[in-house]
């Protein structure tokens, strides 16, 4: 059994990164592996935005990822500094439900708990 950490850096609304990470996580769990954490950094922090209004015919992959992480007790972390810099979160603008603010130091410490880090 392998213990994975996932790092997502691409904007999920402009690429397949979030959908690919979700598919990878589901497949890994189905095959008996563990996902220790998922960390959103750089442009990926836009997925943590609570004020995104998607068209009705577009799947909300961000909500699907949060639901999957909640179901499997996987911490879904986003870089608070990157999110604040991009206006995703602030004192008056909370993050989307299921997303946890963290710093790069926490991300670095979590690397000691995993066998492999996969970046999307």
Residues 49-76: tens digit of each pLDDT: 998 888 888 899 999 999 999 999 999 9
The average pLDDT across 82-100 equals: 95
The β-bridge relationship of strands 3-8 and 34-40 is parallel
**Residue 104 pLDDT exceeds 90:** yes
Mean pLDDT of the chain: 95
CA 85 to chain CA centroid, nearest Å: 17
pLDDT band at 94 (very low <50, low <70, confident <90, very high): very high
Based on its alpha-carbon atoms, the radius of gyration of the chain, rounded to whole angstroms, reads 14
Domains and CATH numbers, the chain: 3-50+67-119 (3.40.1260.10)
The average pLDDT across 96-115 equals: 97
Q: pTM of the predicted model, to two decimals?
A: 0.94
**Residue 27 pLDDT exceeds 90:** yes
Question: Measured between alpha carbons, how far is 93 from 50 in angstroms, rounded to an integer?
Answer: 8
Strand partners, 116: 4
């Amino acid at each position: 059994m392998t213990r994975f950490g996932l790092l997502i850096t691409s904007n999920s609304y402009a690429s397949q990164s979030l959908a690919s990470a979700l598919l990878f996580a589901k497949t890994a769990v189905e095959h008996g592996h563990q996902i220790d954490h998922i960390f959103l950094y750089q442009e990926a922090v836009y997925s943590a935005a609570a004020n995104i209004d998607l068209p009705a015919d577009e799947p909300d992959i961000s909500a699907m990822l949060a639901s999957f992480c909640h179901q499997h007790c996987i911490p879904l972390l986003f870089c608070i500094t990157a999110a604040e810099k991009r206006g995703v979160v602030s004192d008056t603008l909370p993050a989307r439900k299921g997303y946890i603010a963290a710093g790069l130091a926490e991300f670095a410490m979590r690397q000691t708990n995993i066998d492999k880090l996969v970046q999307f």
